[in-house]
Amino acid sequence: MNIEARLIWRDVRMTRTTWIEKLGREDGNVTVFSVFMILIILMLSGAAVDVMRYESIRVKLQHTMDRAVLAAADLDQEQDPNDVVVDYVTQIGAGDALTGVTVDTGLNYRTVTAEAQTTMDTLFMRLSGVPAMTAPAFSMAEERIAKVEISMVLDISGSMAWDAVASGNQAGQTKLEALQDAADIFIDTVIRPETQGLISLSLVPYSQQVNAGPDLFDEMNIDVEHGYSHCVEFSDAAYRNTEFDSSSYFDQTQHFEWNRSDDLRYTVCPRFTYERITPISQDAAALKAQIAALQPRAGTAIYLGMKWASALLDPTFRGVTSNLVAGGKVDPVFAGRPVDFTDDETLKTVILMTDGQNSSSMRIKNHHYNSSSEKQRWASNNLVRWVQNRGHSTNSYVDWHMNMNRGDNLLEDACDAAKDQGIIIWSIGFEVQDHGAEVMRRCASSDAHFFRVEGVEITEAFHAIARQINNLRLTQ
């Protein structure tokens, strides 16, 4: 081998030796790096486990606190609010975590605030210097009974004398009796000692007409035709607004009976004291006594009940309220009601109930109702019987005043006008047919504000509405 060849071979051997030595050194480095990376991954995985445990504990504690303060803030529950919160937290084994409960109670509200804090020992994060993690929880709930103006509109038409659906109901209970029970529960739920001066309720019984009563009747410009009853005829345009119009002139409803022949209790205009509108009251006992006295009668004019309901919530009625306060007919605490529609602290709402649909009705032709003797005759005799006993045609004495379609349109106008002013409408179809149900559904503020019920379900509907009005909410 020549010198040049030997030199080349030497270089090759030296290069191989250097490469082998270098490879050994790098192999050691890779092993150390791999171990380091595995430790990092284990630490991160362990930390993730600790974080998941922490979040589970925190969410459970927060959820329990939310439920606890909601229950404690409920004005209907009679336990000490602090005890209610403690009980809830203790049940999940976190009684020691509760750090404070604050209860603020006023005339129309209860606010409950609770704080808690629990400590969780870590399993893996302690290796990186974090031996424990603290899970805080804070919750506040408030039930506040704001100022509320309510118009409760109750159907007392003749079909309310029928038996209610028997399932779950008292044997032999009529629809009116079921309604009376439901309305009593509603009144007891919304009118309580702590709501005095805050919640006013106007009662509007209706059948074929609405008995305004002499006090409201005298506040309007009415062409008075007789002294037998106090009902008002509204123009179609009047249903397109919510105003209590004390400046325009209105016709008085004729006083007669035409759709029955047995007695004179079912005149077109209701005339008994217990059938009158009761405006702006907080006297629960008096309201329930009036409802207990109601009797089924005549036809159905839902549109008239709704018109009156919204007028009693309109600020244009405020002058009437002042006069009623001065006359001792309304509690002075309500002298400024109805408040403006823009008052953010006051809820205006209508509860509109029917068991049927708008019915047809008649009025006597003007030339048969233009003298005192004729008015006396129709007030003393059933029109159909009197006419038929003399061999005359009823059609020659009366004109159709209303039919179902026109009544539905007027009701829709009245409901739209109320909703445009921010009035919340709850509607209840009590054992109604599909047509009546659809009309009432459209009137309600939303589908969720409409109840189609049978039997004792009417009580559940009224109670559900009352609870919504009481407005329980989680504020934080």
> Among 143, 176, 200, where does a domain finish?
143
Looking at the fold, whether 105 and 208 belong to one and the same domain comes out as: no
d(CA 176, CA 291): 10
Looking at the fold, whether 232 and 320 belong to one and the same domain comes out as: yes
Q: Two tokens at 232? A: 């008002």
Looking at the fold, whether 241 and 316 belong to one and the same domain comes out as: yes
The DSSP element (H or E) to which 16 belongs, if any, is helix 3-73
Residue 8: is it exposed, middle or buried by C-beta count within 10 angstroms (0-12/13-18/19+)? exposed
Looking at the fold, whether 133 and 166 belong to one and the same domain comes out as: no
Looking at the fold, whether 209 and 110 belong to one and the same domain comes out as: no
Query: Which 3 state secondary structure label does DSSP give 138?
Result: strand
pLDDT in tens, the chain (476 residues): 555 545 444 554 555 455 445 545 555 555 766 666 666 666 666 667 778 888 888 899 999 999 999 999 987 778 999 999 999 999 988 888 899 999 998 756 789 999 999 888 888 777 777 888 888 999 999 887 678 999 999 999 999 999 988 555 556 789 999 999 999 999 999 998 888 899 999 999 999 999 999 999 999 999 999 999 999 999 999 999 999 998 899 999 999 998 776 678 899 999 999 999 999 999 999 999 999 999 999 999 999 999 999 999 999 999 999 999 999 999 999 999 999 999 988 999 999 999 999 999 999 999 999 999 999 999 999 998 899 889 999 899 999 999 999 999 999 999 999 999 999 999 999 999 999 999 999 999 999 999 999 998 999 999 999 988 875 444 44
DSSP 368-384: GSSSHHHHHHHHHSBHH
d(CA 476, CA 458): 34
Q: Two tokens at 313? A: 């919530």
The pairing of strands 398-402 and 450-453 is unpaired
Helices 404-420 and 302-311 cross at an angle (nearest 10°) of: 20
> Among 94, 121, 143, where does a domain finish?
143
Looking at the fold, whether 123 and 270 belong to one and the same domain comes out as: no
- Domain that residue 7 falls in: 3-143
Amino acid at 430: F
d(CA 291, CA 429): 18
DSSP 82-107: HHHHHHHHHHTT-GGGEEEEEEEE-S
Q: What is the CATH number of the domain that holds 153?
A: 3.40.50.410
Q: Scanning the structure block, which residue is given the tokens 């919160």?
A: 85
Looking at the fold, whether 260 and 246 belong to one and the same domain comes out as: yes
* Residues found in the chain: 476
pTM, to two decimals: 0.74
- In terms of Cα–Cα distance, which of 205, 173, 235, 168 is closest to 352? 205
Looking at the fold, whether 88 and 153 belong to one and the same domain comes out as: no
Q: Two tokens at 12? A: 């090759």
> Among 112, 143, 174, where does a domain finish?
143
The pairing of strands 132-144 and 109-121 is antiparallel
Q: Scanning the structure block, which residue is given the tokens 């233009």?
A: 370
Indicate the number of domains in the chain.
2
Residue 311: CB atoms within 10 A of its CB come to 27
> Residue 190: CB partners within 8 Å, gap ≥ 6?
148, 150, 199, 201, 466, 469, 470
> Residue 158: CB partners within 8 Å, gap ≥ 6?
207, 266, 296, 297, 298, 299
d(CA 161, CA 280): 28
d(CA 274, CA 282): 17
The CA dihedral of 352, 110, 288, 327, to the nearest 10 degrees, is -90
